[in-house]
């Protein structure tokens, strides 16, 4: 046994245990003195029973320094006895003078009678109790204000969950606390394999043959000549780690692509253009102090700490090794300064992995009706996102956030939103639903691209009826009135009907009409029922937009005759039952301005009938660019990634060229007049 283990037999706690043993004994003082005299050679503090487990912790220690430890132990014993004598003198109430006298006389424990010993024991117990209370108080004082704030949130959670949806939404959606989100986070979780469209094809049509998969993987994503394709394949063989047999290998890492497969016509590169990194607490705090200027720093720290406690992580997309400021500047010149589609397409050939260029050219081709090349470019943009993901990014857990305030993060939002439209064209609705979960998980509070206006569509068409019901009943929708959108409430009634719960479906239609009466009348008109028109005063632009967003997709939802008859008949009954709607309680009609996420959703949806509902001043009062619709007032924009000198030079060249062209035209006109 080592001396360190033996040392544990002594100490202050052992002395207190010995005193407790003396208190319990009923033998007279003489017997106590006799028993003590038999053990004169052993210090008083060594009489306590040893804890057998105490020796385990020090059993691995070497005993080479036992002599030194024994000397140290004897010193400790003497100091313990002196400390005990101090307790004795303090507890008896003697003054300093008498105490010093007692020390000279060598008064010890053996000179104390039973009554005085009882007083000492009581005082020691009282001192221990006071010290423990003081320790608790000191620990409480050490705790930061952040922890106190977090505790206060915990105490109020039960009451918050019973509250009705809050009528006013503020940026950040603070009512959806981290703990509330944690309880419903499963609604945004998914299997990362469901992001692969091939898996849904296999579920629909059975397992595909290897030859069919290889043939699909070898198909180019855009129109390209055989000679150029052959050169790209030769170059791919020289770039180590590019594509691989499964078309999912990327250079520089053993990680496989999870969202896309590399196409044969994609130009091989050895380094990624963008890189995503997890944000530090300091970076997140700097963002929050700018975004929430009226909140105290302690409150913001509490929010950050709470997020990390429940596994929520924040990421930021940054420029990668092959990112080019020159290419971004040229993109800016071709889109903002002097729009030129030809120069933009030429830029794509020089910088094939410039994310903003890829997305903008895809928009141009889509307007021209070239869906094949459009889909190929959007898949390339998704590949850029896939390559940039770090190993720490847990795809599918619903807890990875991308602050919308950063420019490249917004490009990721746009990429996912565009890819959902590609999946819609292919009628791969379950995969599209999975991407909706991914997009909403990036920011479930502010929902910058309005996923709550389209997730119902994909949930219903993929037969995920119960999922949509749970989604609407969860805090993801119940915290704010603004989250209870018309598409969600009316489609969830159809879900109840498809599950055979007719009474719940009727109740859901009734609740949907109370919150969105105008949309109910628009649904009837869409279905050809004109006997119950909207006779009240005109509604605002917000109500018109969300109603149009739903009715433009309605026919696909009610293709079955029984579903169409059900919603038509029930809406008529509800309208007749409710009578004149309460316009004062009509939340959406009382909004002073259109929420920005609705505007982004409408602009990017490319639905002309819906875009026509946007007010004219929206287009005249601000510049709207498809690559970054309504950027936040804080954070970064494309201006942070361009070269001002290059822009100035480009503007001067364009001005000189325009002047030369003007002079040439004037000269030609003059010659024509002379003739």
Together in a domain, 287 and 352: yes
Q: How far is 176 from 182, CA to CA, in rounded Å?
A: 10
Q: Among 134, 82, 126, which Cα is nearest to 108's?
A: 82
Tokens standing for 28? Answer: 């007279």
pLDDT of amino acid 211: 66
Together in a domain, 219 and 111: no
C-alpha gyration radius of the chain: 37
Together in a domain, 523 and 656: no
- Domain annotation covers residue 165: no
Q: CA torsion, points 368, 370, 371, 374, in degrees to nearest 10?
A: -90
Q: Among 473, 453, 389, 402, which Cα is nearest to 187's?
A: 473
The CATH number linked to 476 is 1.25.40.10
pLDDT of amino acid 529: 85
Together in a domain, 577 and 659: no
3 state DSSP class of 94:
coil
At 262, give phi and psi (nearest 5°): -75, 130
Q: How far is 229 from 36, CA to CA, in rounded Å?
A: 99
| Integer CA distances (angstroms), 121 to 17, 19, 45, 81, 94, in order | 10, 6, 15, 15, 17
Together in a domain, 456 and 582: yes
Q: How far is 216 from 263, CA to CA, in rounded Å?
A: 9
- Domain annotation covers residue 149: no
Burial class (CB in 10 A: 0-12, 13-18, 19+), 523: buried
Per the listing, tokens 């993987």 go with 217
pLDDT of amino acid 222: 67
Q: How far is 308 from 400, CA to CA, in rounded Å?
A: 11
Together in a domain, 375 and 463: yes
- Domain annotation covers residue 173: no
- Domain annotation covers residue 625: no
- Domain annotation covers residue 506: yes
Task: For the chain, list residues with pLDDT below 50.
Answer: 1-16, 18-19, 22-81, 83-107, 142-143, 146, 149-150, 153, 156-160
Q: How far is 324 from 134, CA to CA, in rounded Å?
A: 61
Q: How many CA atoms lie within 13 A of 570 on its CB side?
A: 22
pLDDT of amino acid 56: 40
Q: How far is 381 from 175, CA to CA, in rounded Å?
A: 34
Q: How far is 188 from 437, CA to CA, in rounded Å?
A: 5
Together in a domain, 496 and 423: yes
Together in a domain, 43 and 111: yes
pLDDT of amino acid 215: 60
Domain that holds residue 232: 178-620
First and final C-alpha spacing in the chain: 120
Q: Which residues contact 460 (CB under 8 A, 6 or more apart)?
A: 468, 491, 494, 495, 498, 557
Together in a domain, 71 and 182: no
Tokens standing for 116? Answer: 């005085």
- Domain annotation covers residue 634: no
Together in a domain, 569 and 658: no
Together in a domain, 343 and 255: yes
- Domain annotation covers residue 166: no
The domain boundary, picked from 89, 124, 142, lies at 142
pLDDT of amino acid 231: 87
The domain boundary, picked from 84, 119, 142, lies at 142
- Domain annotation covers residue 167: no
The domain boundary, picked from 88, 117, 142, lies at 142
Together in a domain, 125 and 228: no
Q: Among 477, 490, 441, 452, which Cα is nearest to 166's?
A: 477
Domain count across the chain: 3
Q: In this structure, what DSSP letter does residue 532 have?
A: S
pLDDT of amino acid 394: 92
Tokens standing for 326? Answer: 């020159």
């Amino acid at each position: 046994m080592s001396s360190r283990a033996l040392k544990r037999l002594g100490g202050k706690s052992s002395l207190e245990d010995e005193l407790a043993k003396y208190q319990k004994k009923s033998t007279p003082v003489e017997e106590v003195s006799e028993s003590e005299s038999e053990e004169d050679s052993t210090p008083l503090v060594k009489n306590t029973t040893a804890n057998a487990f105490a020796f385990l912790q020090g059993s691995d220690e070497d005993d080479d320094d036992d002599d030194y430890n024994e000397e140290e132990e004897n010193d400790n014993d003497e100091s313990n006895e002196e400390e005990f004598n101090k307790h004795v003198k303090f507890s008896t109430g003697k003054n300093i003078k008498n105490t010093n006298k007692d020390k000279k006389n060598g008064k010890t424990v053996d000179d104390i009678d039973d009554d005085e010993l009882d007083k000492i024991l009581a005082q020691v117990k009282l001192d221990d109790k006071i010290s423990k209370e003081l320790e608790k108080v000191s620990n409480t004082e050490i705790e930061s204000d952040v922890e106190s704030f977090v505790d206060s949130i915990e105490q109020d959670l039960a009451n918050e969950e019973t509250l009705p949806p809050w009528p006013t939404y503020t940026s950040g959606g603070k009512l959806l606390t981290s703990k509330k989100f944690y309880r419903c986070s499963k609604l945004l979780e998914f299997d990362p394999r469901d992001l692969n469209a091939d898996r849904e094809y296999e579920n629909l049509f059975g397992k595909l043959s290897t030859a069919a998969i290889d043939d699909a993987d070898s198909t180019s994503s855009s129109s390209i000549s055989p000679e150029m394709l052959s050169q790209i394949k030769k170059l791919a063989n020289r770039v180590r780690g590019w594509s691989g047999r499964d078309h999912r290998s990327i250079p520089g890492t053993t990680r496989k692509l999870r969202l896309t497969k590399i196409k044969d016509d994609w130009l091989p590169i050895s380094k990624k253009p963008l890189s995503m990194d997890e944000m530090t607490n300091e970076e997140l705090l700097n963002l929050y102090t700018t975004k929430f200027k009226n909140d105290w720093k302690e409150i913001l720290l509490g929010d950050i700490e709470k997020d990390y406690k429940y596994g929520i992580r924040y990421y930021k997309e940054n420029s990668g090794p092959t990112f080019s400021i020159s290419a971004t500047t040229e993109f800016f010149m071709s889109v903002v300064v002097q729009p030129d589609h030809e120069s933009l397409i030429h830029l794509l050939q020089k910088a094939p992995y410039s994310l903003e260029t890829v997305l903008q050219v895809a928009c141009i081709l889509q307007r021209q009706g070239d869906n094949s090349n459009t889909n190929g470019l959007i898949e390339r943009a998704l590949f850029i996102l896939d390559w940039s993901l770090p190993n720490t990014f847990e795809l599918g857990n619903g807890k990875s956030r991308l602050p919308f305030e950063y420019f490249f993060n917004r490009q990721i939002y746009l990429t996912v939103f565009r890819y959902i439209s590609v999946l819609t064209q292919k009628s791969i609705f379950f995969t599209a639903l999975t991407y909706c979960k991914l997009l909403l998980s990036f920011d479930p509070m502010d929902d910058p691209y309005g996923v709550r206006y389209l997730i119902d569509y994909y949930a219903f068409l993929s037969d995920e009826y119960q999922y949509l019901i749970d989604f609407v009943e969860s805090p993801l929708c119940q915290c704010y009135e603004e989250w209870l959108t018309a598409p969600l409430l009316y489609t969830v009634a159809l879900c109840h009907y498809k599950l055979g719960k007719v009474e719940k479906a009727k109740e859901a239609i009734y609740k949907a009409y109370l919150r969105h009466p105008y949309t109910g009348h628009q649904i009837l008109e869409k279905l050809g029922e004109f006997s119950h028109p909207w006779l009240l005063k005109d509604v605002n632009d917000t109500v018109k937009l969300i109603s149009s967003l739903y009715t433009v997709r309605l026919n696909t939802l009610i293709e079955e005759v029984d579903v169409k008859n059900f919603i038509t008949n029930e809406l008529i009954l509800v309208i007749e039952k409710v009578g004149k709607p309460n316009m004062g309680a009509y939340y959406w009609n009382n909004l002073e301005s259109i929420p920005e996420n609705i505007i982004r959703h409408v602009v990017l949806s490319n639905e002309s009938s819906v875009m026509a509902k946007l007010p004219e001043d929206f287009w005249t009062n601000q510049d709207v660019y498809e690559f970054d619709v309504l950027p936040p007032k804080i954070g970064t924009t494309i201006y942070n990634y361009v070269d001002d000198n290059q822009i100035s030079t480009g503007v001067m060249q364009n001005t000189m060229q325009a002047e030369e062209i003007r002079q040439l035209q004037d000269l030609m006109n003059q010659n024509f007049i002379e003739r």
